[in-house]
Amino acid sequence: MFPFVAPVRDLRFVLEELLEYRSLDLPGFEEASPDLVEAVLEEAARLAGEVWAPLNASGDRQGCVRREDGGVTLPDGFAEAYQAYAEGGWNGIGVSQALGGQGLPEVVASSVQEMLHGANMALGLCPMLTAGAIEALAHHGSDALKATYLPKLVDGSWTGTMNLTEPQAGSDLSKVRTRAMPCPDEEGDRYRLFGQKIFITWGEHDASENIIHLVLARKPDAPEGNKGISLFLVPKYLVNADGSLGERNDVTCASIEHKLGIHGSPTCTLSFGENDGAIGYLVGEEGRGLNHMFTMMNEARHKVGIQGIGVAERACQHAFAYALDRVQGRARGAEATISEHLDVRRMLLSMRARTDALRALALYCAAQLDVARHAADAAERDAAQGRVDVLIPVVKAFSTDQAVEIASLGVQVHGGMGFIEETGAAQLLRDARIAPIYEGTNGIQALDLAGRKLSRDGGAALAGLIDEVEATAGELRESGELAALGESLTAGAADLRAAMALVLEASRDPQRGADAVQAYATPFLSLAGHVLCAWQMGRAALKARAAEAGGSSDPFYRAKLAAADFALRQWLPVGRANRSVIEAGMESLADYRVTLS
């Protein structure tokens, strides 16, 4: 596998030139500066490239092992690499200083996350889940729980997990059966949990002192359905009053999954209460566990999108390096590397353009998160949150779907060498394939966008984004040599606006509204993803053209213009076809009956 080099130059382009470091102007970030951010990116790149990335292939080959005592041994070097991450203070980079973190903007934390996931996706899952646990506990935990658990989670001494899924309760969490029994005779507000959770990422390992599980469960008197679910904190080791670790809690790793990819990430079946019950503590309000867990899930969904982009970036680098090295065939009368063949160039440029576009959109979303959390004006915060709510399902679903396609193209660039494990291209495809599935399948993300998010405000937040797309298209049309890009983006914006109207109209049908949303959701999200990503590449083209007009001869800008041209004139038209899919109606889907014959 070729060495991984974190894409610091492109990250800086997005932060400096597209986003203009506006997050640094928000209240709370007074001590941050562009120079500090650049230093953070460079140091994170060193950690990603020199410490994490070399373990990616070996971790995939070795995998995790469940020991007879129920513990899990990670691949060689993983625990040490995680410790280097924690000791460097990276776990708290985006956490407020009031909670013991570095207090940097979310857009910077997301940039660091992308580098780490590109270096080693399996290892990156550990801090990604911990970040979600911090977010949920900070928002909903009692003062006592925060005081006991947040400092160690923030500094990375302890890691966090999210425990939702059960054998009978996958996407439908109303079926959760894990029980939480009150313990009125015991000291403190304790519960004892009994049940089993499956697919728990980093549910057991030997990289940290303690593991803090956030678990959905029901009290004995809880009603059926979602309203009966509460959220509980269950530590692997109980914590004494002085903060030291006490006895082992009654939570056990029953098995680890043998997966298609991310072999270095221990995905566990956890058993709670094989003996007297796993001691847990209520987080937030009783019966609102699902609501509280969504705080963690929304954090995780954005980061899963970032994760997909990281893997896509590594697939790009891998394919470009191979194409420049592999001599095959002839071009212009001489032996040539495959990078000289136009069909290979088409694949490489497609990979690069898509990855750049996805990155820009995900970091735009992160910047909006910063505004939603920190802007002084309430109306500005609310408007940004509306955009975040629309963008997160797009970032999660569209980025991860595209990452699978990008990694698949990477295999194709390698030809037959891509289909064998030794080159490493296959691992990237295998690893990327989980991202469209977990943290809510991409079909669920599409339903969230086309259903709940559009209906909540009648499409106002998305319409506001389309207005900005059209403004960028206008700038492109007036720019002279970029006019063709503007025409393409204008057409894409019109398609998205028309499709949004169709979905909203269909959703109001009293007879088949819910079915219509289900039928149109996935093509609608795909259309939104293509248009919003093309918008970002249109903005990138304007910035690159301005840099060249200002005298820059940096080849980076010429490459950015090529990627933008491909994105708007060759990739966006493919996505625009989704409008026709929606206009074709839902009758064939509604009438189809699934049979085995």
Q: What is the pLDDT of residues 2-11, one digit of tens each?
A: 899 999 999 9
Which residues does residue 331 pair with via DSSP β-bridges, in sequence order? Answer: 334
DSSP 5: -
Band of residue 511 on the pLDDT scale cut at 50, 70, 90: confident
Q: Where are the alpha helices (DSSP H) in 441-482?
A: 442-447, 454-457, 460-477
Cα 310 versus chain centre, distance: 9
**Residue 573 tokens, joined:** 């038209």
Sorted by sequence, the CB contacts under 8 Å of residue 577 that are 6+ apart come out as none
SS3 261: coil
pLDDT at 517 over 90: yes
pLDDT at 29 over 90: yes
Sign of CA dihedral 172, 177, 183, 188: negative
Asked whether 55 and 81 are in contact (CB, 8 A), the reply is yes
Band of residue 174 on the pLDDT scale cut at 50, 70, 90: confident
SS3 161: strand
Q: What is the dihedral of CA 360, 363, 368, 371, to 10 degrees?
A: -130
Determine the average pLDDT of the residues in 548-556: 96
Q: What is the DSSP string of 126-147?
A: HHHHHHHHHHHHHHHS-HHHHH
Predicted local confidence at residue 56, as pLDDT: 98
Band of residue 468 on the pLDDT scale cut at 50, 70, 90: very high
| Listed residue (225, 362, 222, 215) closest to 284, CA to CA | 215
**Residue 505 tokens, joined:** 């109209």
Query: What share of the chain has pLDDT > 70, as a percent?
Result: 99
> Which single residue is written with the structure tokens 């292939």?
57
Determine the average pLDDT of the residues in 576-583: 97
CA-CA distance, 158 to 212, in Å (whole number)?
7
Catalytic residue among 380, 439, 475, 487: 439
The predicted-structure confidence for 360-416, as pLDDT tens digits, reads as follows: 999 999 999 999 999 999 999 999 999 999 999 999 999 999 999 999 999 999 999
Buried b (16+ CB within 10 A) or exposed e, 20-40: ebebbebebbeebeeeebeeb
CA-CA distance, 425 to 375, in Å (whole number)?
43
Determine the average pLDDT of the residues in 218-230: 93
Predicted local confidence at residue 298, as pLDDT: 79
Predicted local confidence at residue 378, as pLDDT: 98
CA-CA distance, 325 to 338, in Å (whole number)?
8
Predicted local confidence at residue 329, as pLDDT: 85
pLDDT at 171 over 90: no
Asked whether 276 and 205 are in contact (CB, 8 A), the reply is no
Q: Is 439 a catalytic residue?
A: yes
Predicted local confidence at residue 529, as pLDDT: 98
pLDDT at 172 over 90: no
Determine the average pLDDT of the residues in 515-542: 97
CA-CA distance, 58 to 422, in Å (whole number)?
11
The pTM of this model reads 0.97
Sorted by sequence, the CB contacts under 8 Å of residue 566 that are 6+ apart come out as 349, 350, 353
The predicted-structure confidence for 44-57, as pLDDT tens digits, reads as follows: 999 999 999 999 99
CA-CA distance, 221 to 255, in Å (whole number)?
31
Determine the average pLDDT of the residues in 572-586: 96
Asked whether 389 and 461 are in contact (CB, 8 A), the reply is yes
Predicted local confidence at residue 169, as pLDDT: 87
Q: What is the mean pLDDT of the chain?
A: 96
CA-CA distance, 204 to 265, in Å (whole number)?
10
Residue 552 CA: distances (Å) to CA of 51, 356, 525, 543, 555:
34, 20, 37, 12, 9
Predicted local confidence at residue 548, as pLDDT: 96
Predicted local confidence at residue 188, as pLDDT: 66
290: how many CB neighbours lie within 10 A of its CB?
Answer: 20
Residue 269, exposed/middle/buried by CB under 10 A (0-12, 13-18, 19+)? buried
Q: What is the 3-state secondary structure (H, E, C) of 504-565?
A: HHHHCCCCCHHHHHHHHHHHHHHHHHHHHHHHHHHHHHHHHHHHHHCCCCCHHHHHHHHHHH
Asked whether 537 and 568 are in contact (CB, 8 A), the reply is yes
Determine the average pLDDT of the residues in 576-592: 94
pLDDT at 103 over 80: yes
Residue 428, exposed/middle/buried by CB under 10 A (0-12, 13-18, 19+)? buried
Band of residue 187 on the pLDDT scale cut at 50, 70, 90: low
Predicted local confidence at residue 1, as pLDDT: 67
240: how many CB neighbours lie within 10 A of its CB?
Answer: 11
**Residue 53 tokens, joined:** 């990335």
